Chains A and B, each alone.
Chain A
Amino acid sequence: MEKTGIQHKKALPVRPVERLTPEQTRAIDGASKKLLAETGLCCAGAKAAGVYHAAGCRVEEAGDDKQKMWKVYFPERLLQKALSGVPSTVVLGARDPRHTLLLQADLPHVYFGTGAEANIYLRSRMDKFVSTADADRVLHHPVYQEEPGSLAALADAARLVEQLEHADFFIRNVNIQDPEINKANKDVNVFFTSLCHTTKHVQGGLSELEALPAVISLARIIAEEQPYLPFSFIVCPVRSPLFMVSDSSEKVLAIAREKIPMVISTSPQGGVTAPIQEEGITIQTNAEILAGIALAQFANPGAPVLYGAVPVRARLDTLEDCYGTAEFSHYAMACVQLARFYGIPCYASAGVGDANRPGIQATVEKMFSYKEVAAAGAHYIHYAFGLLDGTNIFSPLQAVLDNASIALVKELLRAPDFDREEIAAAVREIDKNVKGSGMFIRGIRRQLRRKVVSSTYEFSSDGEEDQVLLRAQAKLEHCLAAETKALPADTISRVFKEIPGLVSK
């Protein structure tokens, strides 16, 4: 526990890499505020427009007979006032309080978790392949089966995250498409299935605003006496460029009024819905998030929010999202820096790529963003486990591989931790061994206890065959066979009694 006195999971502390100079950061801040003051935000939500107006923004009607719309202009002073009231600390509870996440804007401590809502769940199993030239030559390689997302797949994903050592939180990562699921009951089923199968923090979107009371009740039943609810929301109120959607803006207002932690997210696509160059997309992303955060603060000052930038670049051949390029990390790093500039805990993205099956391409693409975005000091890195083909596929096997990669990144980013005493001890050690055996083996134990000696790659191979996938699949099967830390039976029974729409599977 740190000085807050809140029991929480230890995060990865980093000394942040600053991609932008202080001048560039201030310039982007100024440009985003200028955009909001002069270009303004199109707002399709009457309630949101009313809140902005009541707070002091200039709001002008801009719609037509078909669609009501308002143009909202933000005086810089007003925006600044809203930002100054944003809590710099956000606590995200968990069923097991040891998994509680403590996000403090001024402390660049990093957590990793899942993300997206993939339509495809990619099952895998190992198969043997025999050389047609030499029957003694056998290789092991996975074969894959794509299936639509389902409650069962979501449950498996949550159970897997429960077992993965470096997964700190679970964002519902599979889009449930079971026939029993409809718009009205989707949210309660997503949160219930997730909370049932992991004791880590659970986060998700809200498909239907009407489901909010039921989801909150569900979380309260599960949390029992715990001070922090085990869940939070992601809301994306702005459709790029600078257009606030009615439905999502109402979700921001409702969640803010409940003081449930919420990510204010936006995901512009560089080259299509935002400029492709770093400064352009960063200015726009920042403006869109500031507008969303301001809405939450105007609705309920002090509402806990995360600065949720998810900028991505367009592929030049298809104009679809492109994650496996340097820009994905550049954009994210710049936004992490801006969140720190405003003193708001930061939600960022890393670990997505363009490969559609586990393997070398996936690992390479993911590794760069894990390292760079974590080094920038993002507090809460989503998308980090199992995503393939951008965010279209969730592969449990890839999630296990990602867990091992994140382990290496955590070691890589470990800050040097020594003082004068450690330096004196090192000198004594060198002196003793120079005079003695010449081998420093005895020193290794002490440094292992200090946790300053890294582990080797989890899935190292023996011999000539690359056995990484084979070993990762074995770990996956082991994780999924582990006993679920299920909710107590009386809690489940109470949930089913009090929460309508739950599907029993």
Chain B
Amino acid sequence: MSKDELLAKLEHSIVMGHLDADDEGFDGTMEGTPGTLELLEEALKAEIEPGVLVESFRVAMGKVGQLFEAEEYNLADMLASAECVGKAMEIIGPALQAVSHSTKGKFLIATVEGDLHDIGKNIVATMLKGAGYQVKDLGIDVPAATILQEIRAYKPDYVGLSALLTSTMVEMEHVVRLIKEENIPGLKVFIGGAPTSQEFADKIGADYYCRDVREALDKLEEVSKVS
């Protein structure tokens, strides 16, 4: 198989949300055929440059976005494709850094202390990876001190905080205040979760409120264009 054919297959497998050979893909026919992970392995053996691979991921996710806009794909489908890209990025990440190919930016994400909910956060993390962001997920019930420590070490461009309980909104306010006190130039704080709102974001000094994962992606795209 030529490199171009391999890249085309890889792109198709992402569009079809076909993670690996065990997965049946969007149309249910792909089980037993090489998925994103197997094709990526082949591409790396064929010495296709990481930058070229990332470009094919971008093209694939662009097609997925169009299918979503056309209502042919639902959000779960989009997420499945994003998961393919996310897993692929984890594999090629070190090689990518070695050749200085930048991603769209670094995103640190966490559910604040006292809150054990992670569905929304996981969905956002997966989609961001799929969209080409470098994501570090700190998990759930993360103390403010840990978040600050990770910000200093990881140096993200964006921080995303999630809360599902009204009781943990207070903690979110506390974390945002501490982050802002760090005065890190260019760092933008995003918040989300069922009880939060634009009014709450304004009140606690968060830069952006995102109602759902689509809004998170749209706002991030806007912010990254400006910066």
Contact = CB atoms under 8 A, between A and B. Distances in A.
Q: Are chains A and B native binding partners rather than an unrelated pairing? A: yes
A441 B119 CA distance: 11
Interface string A47-73: 000000000000000000000000000
Interface string B61-76: 0000000000000101
A446 B28 contact: yes
B122 A437 contact: yes
Contacts of A442: 17, 19, 23, 80, 83
A442 B84 CA distance: 11
Contact of A441 (B24, B28, B79, B118): B79
A196 B119 CA distance: 53
Contact of A445 (B80, B83, B122): B80
Interface in A446-478: 446, 449
B23 A439 contact: no
A439 B28 contact: no
* Residue of A438, A441, A449 with most partner-chain B CB within 10 A: A441
Contacts of B122: 437-439
Contacts of A437: 83, 122, 126
A446 B79 contact: no
A126 interface: no
A207 to B, nearest CB: 47
A434 interface: no
A442 to B, nearest CB: 5
Interface string A92-132: 00000000000000000000000000000000000000000
A438 B118 CA distance: 10
Contacts of B24: 445-446
Contacts of A439: 79, 83, 119, 122-123, 126
B79 A445 contact: no
B141 interface: no
Interface in B69-114: 74, 76-77, 79-80, 83
Interface string A406-450: 000000000000000000000000000000011101101110010
Contacts of B17: 442, 445
B211 to A, nearest CB: 12
B76 A444 contact: yes
Contacts, number: 33
A441 B126 CA distance: 11
A445 B76 contact: yes
B77 A445 contact: yes
| A438, A439, A445, A446 interface centre (most CB from chain B within 10 Å) | A445
Interface string B139-161: 00000000000000000000000
Interface in B114-132: 118-119, 122-123, 126
A199 B128 CA distance: 49
A449 B123 CA distance: 23
A481 B26 CA distance: 34
Nearest to A439: B122
A441 B123 CA distance: 10
A101 B155 CA distance: 66
A441 B26 contact: no
Nearest to A444: B76
Given A437-B83, A439-B79, A445 B28 contact: yes
A449 B77 CA distance: 13
A442 B35 CA distance: 14
Contacts of A445: 17, 24, 26, 28, 76-77, 80
Contacts of B126: 437, 439
A441 B118 CA distance: 15
A437 B137 CA distance: 12
Contact of A449 (B19, B28, B83, B119): B28
A495 to B, nearest CB: 42
Contacts of B77: 444-445
Interface in B1-55: 17, 19, 23-24, 26, 28
Contacts of B19: 442
B91 to A, nearest CB: 15
Nearest to B19: A442
A437 B123 CA distance: 10
A394 B122 CA distance: 50
B162 to A, nearest CB: 15
B85 to A, nearest CB: 13
Nearest to B123: A439
Contacts of A438: 118, 122
Contacts of B74: 444
Contacts of B80: 441-442, 445
Contacts of A444: 74, 76-77
Interface string A137-166: 000000000000000000000000000000
Contacts of B119: 439
Contacts of B83: 437, 439, 441-442
A442 B30 CA distance: 13
A446 B79 CA distance: 15
A449 B74 CA distance: 13
A444 B28 CA distance: 11
B87 to A, nearest CB: 9
Contacts of A449: 28
Nearest to B78: A441
B78 to A, nearest CB: 9
Nearest to A432: B22
5 contacts: A441-B83, A442-B17, A442-B80, A445-B24, A446-B24
Interface of B: 17, 19, 23-24, 26, 28, 74, 76-77, 79-80, 83, 118-119, 122-123, 126
Given A439-B122, A445-B24, A446-B24, 14 more contacts: A437-B126, A438-B118, A439-B83, A439-B123, A439-B126, A441-B80, A441-B83, A442-B19, A442-B83, A444-B74, A444-B76, A445-B26, A445-B28, A445-B80
Q: Please provide the 7 A-B residue pairs with the shortest distance between their CB atoms, ordered closest to farther.
A: A444-B76, A441-B76, A441-B79, A442-B80, A441-B80, A449-B28, A439-B122
